[in-house]
Amino acid sequence: MPTRKPSITDVARIAGVSYQTVSRVINDAPDVNAATRARIQEIIAEVGYRRNRSATSLVTNRSTSIGIVTDGSPRFGPVGTLLSLEREARERGYVVTVVAANEPYEFSIQRAFDTLDEIGVDGIIVIAPRLSMAEATRAASVRVPVEMIAAGASGTPNVFTYSEDQELGARMATQHLIDLGHTDIAHIAGSMDWFDGRVRKSGWETALAGAGLRPGLCLEGDWTPRWAYEVGLRLIEEGRIPSAIFAVSDHTALGLIRAFVENGVRVPQDVSIVGFDDLEGSDYFLPPLTTVRQDFPALARGTMEVLLGAVEGREVDRTPSVPTLVVRNSAIPAA
């Protein structure tokens, strides 16, 4: 016969405490002394207790699940956001149900919302990197709060937004090049169908305007290293290599660097490059890449706090999370 799963009552009996004390430890309530908390956590690990989320839902009269809608993009930003959100939700005691929505979004977003509504989620987070996905999200209907992660996008009465301040990150990257004495600063940009591409371009323009500089060369593409490599080759062929480049992503910087180095253009001696993302391994590019680091854990914490604030009807701080400039060796003072 299968053995009975240990219950919260079993944990309380072994620890010699009340059911309520164990519950407070499980829910990370602050009013349990450190020694008791440690003892209960040891017993939970020893007996293999796992919370019964269905029972918790009945007792608290609320769901313990949130939904996340993603476009299934393999790009660094959406994937990093999704993984951090799942981890943050789990640490807060929520189960995450992820649904992918594909183009055309006007149909797939509503289907995703309907699926999550049937499951009975408390709220929905939409990772919406593209403008068309955001438009479909605003137009769809659902009975629970909906939050959209879309850099620089405005909310509506039915859909509120949260994001990292990527426009600030782009200003930081560009300002670093300005501070190094560069005046001819190009931007190899992402697609303007993406919120990230738009706000990073805007940050580049704003930083240059603040320094009294005119925007240099700007080319918009598809974020891939291959496209950036081809751009680098074209710049060499046309003799249009600027003093410095703010690349929209580390992958873009990677493609540029390869094209330049293969053709005798030195980085950073001939052209300084700053990326965006702090992709794993960017410190091992040749040269190690100066870049802007996205703080995905902070983004996830802020996103969850905003969503749960809406669920619980309380006001929360909606200040965007802030990226960090990581200075390495791919950008040096202008000659």
**What is the bridge-based pairing of β-strands 95-100 and 244-247?**
unpaired
pLDDT at 3: 55
Can you tell me the distance from the alpha carbon of 18 to that of 31, in angstroms, rounded to the nearest whole number? 14
pLDDT at 263: 97
Q: What is the pLDDT of residues 276-335, one digit of tens each?
A: 999 999 999 999 999 999 999 999 999 999 888 887 777 888 889 999 999 999 999 998
pLDDT at 10: 78
pLDDT at 56: 47
- Write the CA distances from 292 to 6, 89, 90, 114, 284, integer angstroms: 47, 26, 27, 37, 15
With a cut of 70, list the residues of the chain below it in pLDDT.
1-5, 7, 19, 27, 50-63
Helix (H, G, I), strand (E, B) or coil at 253: helix
Contact 66, 79 (CB under 8 A): no
Query: In this structure, what DSSP letter does residue 250 have?
Result: H
